[in-house]
Amino acid sequence: MLAVISNRHWGKLITARWEGIPGKYVWTAIGLVLLWGVMRAIYERDADLVGRLAAWETVPANAAQRKRLAESQFEQLDELQKSLLKQLLVTDMMNEGHAVAYMQSIGCTEVKECLAPIADKTNFLIRNFVGYYEINPAFREALEKLLGNS
């Protein structure tokens, strides 16, 4: 097989076919640009996950620091989100469908997403692989105190 490939006749045929096509450096550059585009798309898709993991890993170990962080994040929420967190403390686990049903039961209409914005803004919620949101155990006590006062 190697003897056939290395035959001068085959080498002339292969080089004759490639005369009008850009050189190997152009094809290498095109391949690298495409690879860079694919990797960039994957990175942007996972940027949200990386942000949530970074927020999870930076939870303060000290209870007083956690309380201050919880208070500052709690101030960012509106009253509907606070009532939804209170309901989530009662039910322990909730997905977006349950959250929308609860919001409609208290009079909110045209609500599509309730828990994802809270999870994006705060460290209060964690989402499991099935899509259910739970209260972050590191902030549960601070959140119970804050919701008890409101």
For the stretch 107-150, pLDDT in tens is 887 777 888 888 888 888 988 888 899 998 888 888 888 888 65
Asked whether the predicted pLDDT for residue 1 surpasses 50, the reply is no
- Give the list of residues 6+ apart from residue 83 with CB closer than 8 angstroms, or none: 106
With respect to residue 50, please indicate whether it lies within any of the assigned structural domains. no
Domain containing 13 equals 2-45
Is 141 in the same domain as 71? yes
The Cα–Cα gap between 85 and 67 comes to 16
For the stretch 8-47, pLDDT in tens is 555 555 555 555 566 677 778 888 999 998 888 877 767 7
The Cα–Cα gap between 77 and 122 comes to 9
- 28-32, 57-61, 80-84: range with lowest mean pLDDT: 57-61
Would you state the pLDDT for residue 88?
A: 92
With respect to residue 138, please indicate whether it lies within any of the assigned structural domains. yes
Is 122 in the same domain as 83? yes
With respect to residue 118, please indicate whether it lies within any of the assigned structural domains. yes
Is 143 in the same domain as 93? yes
Is 141 in the same domain as 69? yes
**What tokens were used for 139?**
């902030």
Residue 94 has φ and ψ, to the nearest 5°, of -155, 145
Is 129 in the same domain as 87? yes
With respect to residue 117, please indicate whether it lies within any of the assigned structural domains. yes
Is 99 in the same domain as 135? yes
Say if pTM beats, i.e. exceeds, 0.85.
no
Interior angle at CA 75, CA 70 and CA 81, nearest 5: 95
Angle between helix 47-57 and helix 24-45 axes, rounded to 10 deg: 50
Is 99 in the same domain as 30? no
- Domain count of the chain? 2
Would you state the pLDDT for residue 21?
A: 60
Is 82 in the same domain as 127? yes
With respect to residue 58, please indicate whether it lies within any of the assigned structural domains. no
